[in-house]
């Protein structure tokens, strides 16, 4: 099994009107593939935030394979 770090980001405007990418949540997942890891992370994000769709709180997710 491989370990992945999945980071969820939301684009928000700052006080000067520029868009900034802000980190909403990070999850470390052990899975057999990156696709499986992302799906597990999305489910964990939804459960933690009490929402039905992760896109209500984030615009994108970034996946990084962790080297052990």
Q: So what's the pLDDT on residue 63?
A: 97
Q: What is the pLDDT of residues 18-40, one digit of tens each?
A: 999 999 999 999 999 999 999 99
d(CA 30, CA 16): 40
d(CA 45, CA 14): 24
Q: Write the CA distances from 19 to 11, 22, 57, integer angstroms.
A: 6, 9, 16
CATH code of the domain occupying 2-66: 3.10.20
| pTM score | 0.89
The per-residue DSSP string of 27-41 comes to EEEEESSHHHHHHHH
């Amino acid at each position: 099994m491989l370990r992945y770090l999945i980071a969820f980001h939301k684009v928000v405007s700052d006080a000067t009107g520029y868009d900034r990418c802000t980190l909403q949540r990070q999850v470390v997942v052990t899975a057999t593939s990156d696709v499986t890891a992302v799906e597990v992370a999305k489910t964990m994000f939804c459960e933690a935030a009490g929402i039905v769709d992760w896109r209500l709180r984030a615009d994108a997710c970034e996946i990084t394979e962790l080297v052990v």
